[in-house]
Amino acid sequence: MKFNSTKCKVLTITRKQNPVVYDYQLGSAILTRVQQEKDLGVTISSKLTWHHHICVIVAKANKLFGLLKRTCPLLTDIRVRRTLYLSLVKSQLCYATQVWSRRRTCSKPSLKEYRGELPNGSSVTKAKKCLTTKDCSCSTYCLYATTEKSKT
């Protein structure tokens, strides 16, 4: 198997203030160093913070929700609206939560909007009113620590 050195990157994951930096080579080409990299839809940063990843998925979910609002304003059937929301918006929010959900301390406000916990929550909050507890299990899993901390 041959590697393409222009597509290979180096990501050093550490929380040190002054990490030791080496120049890696593949053949005679020096590999480029990056601070974050997207792999399988999850953005990993060099300090393992998930702020950028969460901002990206929240923005994507907001765009999809806006698309739903613009294209389906006359849908009155709650089941159809719920199905559209679950399949398009919520699937974006819950993708790969097993990887990033435990490390989201700096992004609580963005995610709380989707739970309806902020006083001036986004319009996604209105859509979640028709969801059952079973439907919110993924969001509950993602945000269980956030809810517990806000109660104390």
Tell me the three state secondary structure of residue 45.
strand
Rounded to whole angstroms, how far apart are CA atoms 124 and 66?
Answer: 9
Asked if pLDDT for residue 145 goes beyond 60, the answer is no
CA angle 101, 123, 135 (to 5 degrees): 50
Rounded to whole angstroms, how far apart are CA atoms 24 and 22?
Answer: 6
User: What average pLDDT does range 24-50 have in this prediction?
Assistant: 88
User: What average pLDDT does range 119-144 have in this prediction?
Assistant: 42
What pTM value is reported for the model? 0.60
Q: Is-contact 96 41, C-beta < 8 A?
A: yes
Least confident of 28-32, 73-77, 113-117, 141-145: 141-145
DSSP 89-119: IIHHHHTTHHHHTTS-GGGHHHHHHHHT-ST
For residue 110, what pLDDT is reported? Answer: 53
Rounded to whole angstroms, how far apart are CA atoms 28 and 67?
Answer: 48
Q: Is-contact 100 54, C-beta < 8 A?
A: yes
> Could you report the per-residue pLDDT of 84-108, keeping only the tens digit for each?
888 888 888 888 887 777 644 444 4
> Could you report the per-residue pLDDT of 16-30, keeping only the tens digit for each?
888 888 889 888 889
Least confident of 49-58, 88-97, 115-124: 115-124
